[in-house]
């Protein structure tokens, strides 16, 4: 697909155009980025090195962490570089690459969250058939489908984006290249692109959200049948934390991609994007894994082993 653009680079406005806030933003997002990298890498390392965690649920968690690592690494390093160098430019191909990779991770994450919800539904509502429902072939097929569907969705949206012309403004009022704000800069007809974005958001976002919420409806219904009050409290605590993050992620991501063009507000959309592209990847290790007793114990064992290696 050949693009007819005369624009060779874009200017990223960033989260703030005021220079006095740049150092604060640099320190803040460096901390968040390092926390996200550390948390997600620890989850991957802990699960892969602990045989007791080689189950479908933790297999899905590894993939969620890998998606989070890729997702946050698409946007934050370039933003930190621009803040440090007092630059706001990004090459045209660099911008397209960011769009492709972020759209890929965005679609894949919604599907992984749905798969995780289904896994928990199978474990809670059908414990006797869990090993059959979530057998190895099913898990591998699910994850392969997640990554492939994410690649196809991203390739289609990015491919049609490359058909557009960019011949007027090259200023993106955002902190990285994301599909909606870049579409606004095109001097071509973007109705087809907006339709494709809407369809993708409906299939990936709304579809995954329905699967997730339906799974949790049956989970909560099963939990209510538990006679132990302490058991109910523990289950509700875990589910409520998970649901809060899931709803936060889905509601913010879906809003960004599904609202009409007339409702577009750059500053508001940037704040919402920070929630699902930066904050959520940093919180996921805590919400989904680090509050889990099995993961905590495996993490302690890993730290002890690393400590022995250091003493040697």
Distance, CA of 268 to CA of 213 (rounded, Å): 26
- Average pLDDT over all residues of the chain: 83
Confidence of residue 312 (pLDDT cuts 50, 70, 90): very low
Task: State pLDDT tens for residues 171-217.
Answer: 888 889 988 889 888 888 889 998 998 888 888 878 888 888 898 88
pLDDT band at 236 (very low <50, low <70, confident <90, very high): low
Report the share of the chain in percent with pLDDT over 70. Answer: 85
In the predicted model, what is the mean pLDDT of residues 152-169? 90
pLDDT in tens, 2-26: 445 577 889 988 887 777 888 899 9
Confidence at residue 239, expressed as pLDDT on a 0 to 100 scale: 64
d(CA 243, CA 277): 18
- 3-state SS assignment for residue 234: helix
pLDDT at 288 over 70: no
Question: Which pLDDT score is estimated for 241?
Answer: 60
Model pLDDT, residue 108: 93
**Residue 293: what pLDDT?**
74
Position 309 scores a pLDDT of 47
pLDDT at 29: 93
Question: For 9, which DSSP code?
Answer: E
| Reported pTM | 0.86
| CATH of 18-311 given 3.40.50.2300, 3.40.50.1100, 1.20.1070.10, 3.80.30.20 | 1.20.1070.10
H-run or E-run covering 89: strand 89-91
DSSP string, 130-159: HHHHT-HHHHHHHHHHHHHHHHHHHHHHHH
pLDDT of residue 311: 47
CA atoms lying within 13 Å on the CB side of residue 70:
20
pLDDT bucket at 33, cuts 50 / 70 / 90? very high
Please tell me whether residue 84 adopts helix, strand or coil conformation: helix
Both tokens of 92, joined, read 């045209």
Position 265 scores a pLDDT of 65
Mean pLDDT of 229-258: 67
| 3-state SS class at 176 | coil
Question: For 90-99, 153-162, 196-205, which range has the lowest pLDDT when averaged over its residues?
Answer: 196-205
Query: 124-128, 133-137, 254-258: lowest mean pLDDT where?
Result: 254-258
CA torsion sign, 177 to 179 to 180 to 186?
Answer: positive
Q: Is the pLDDT of residue 31 over 90?
A: yes
Overall average pLDDT of the 27-39 stretch: 93
- pLDDT recorded at residue 74: 93
Helical packing angle, 92-125 and 207-223, nearest 10°: 30
The answer on pLDDT for 1 being more than 60 is no
* Candidate ranges 10-14, 52-56, 103-107, 272-276; pick with highest mean pLDDT: 103-107
Q: Are 278 and 25 in contact (CB under 8 A)?
A: no
- Each residue of 281-310: b (16+ CB within 10 Å) or e? bbbbbebbbeebebbeebbeebeeeeeeee
């Amino acid at each position: 697909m050949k693009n007819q653009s005369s624009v060779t680079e874009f200017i990223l406005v960033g989260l703030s155009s005021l220079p006095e806030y740049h150092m604060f933003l640099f320190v803040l997002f460096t901390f968040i980025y390092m926390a996200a990298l550390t948390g997600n890498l620890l989850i991957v390392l802990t699960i892969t090195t602990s045989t007791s965690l080689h189950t479908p649920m933790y297999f899905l968690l590894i993939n969620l962490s890998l998606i989070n690592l890729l997702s946050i690494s698409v946007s934050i390093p370039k933003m930190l570089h621009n803040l440090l160098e007092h630059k706001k430019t990004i090459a045209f191909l660099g911008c397209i690459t960011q769009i492709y990779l972020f759209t890929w991770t965005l679609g894949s994450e919604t599907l992984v969250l749905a798969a995780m919800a289904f896994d928990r539904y199978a474990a809670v509502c059908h414990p006797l058939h869990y090993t059959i429902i979530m057998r190895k072939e099913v898990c591998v097929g699910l994850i392969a489908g997640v990554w492939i569907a994410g690649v196809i969705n991203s390739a289609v949206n990015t491919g049609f984006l490359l058909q557009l012309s960019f011949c007027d403004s090259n200023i993106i009022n955002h902190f990285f290249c994301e599909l909606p704000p870049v579409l606004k800069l095109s001097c071509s007809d973007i109705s087809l692109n907006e339709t494709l974005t809407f369809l993708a958001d409906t299939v990936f976002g709304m579809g995954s959200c329905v699967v997730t919420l339906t799974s949790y409806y049956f989970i909560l219904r099963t939990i209510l049948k538990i006679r132990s009050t302490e058991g109910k409290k523990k289950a509700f605590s875990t589910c409520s934390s998970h649901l809060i993050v899931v709803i936060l992620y889905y509601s913010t991501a879906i809003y960004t991609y599904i609202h009409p063009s007339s409702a577009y507000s750059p500053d508001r959309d940037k704040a919402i994007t920070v929630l699902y592209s930066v904050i959520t990847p940093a919180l996921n290790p805590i919400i989904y894994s680090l509050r889990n007793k099995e993961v905590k114990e495996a993490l302690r064992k890993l730290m002890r082993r690393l400590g022995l290696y250091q003493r040697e």
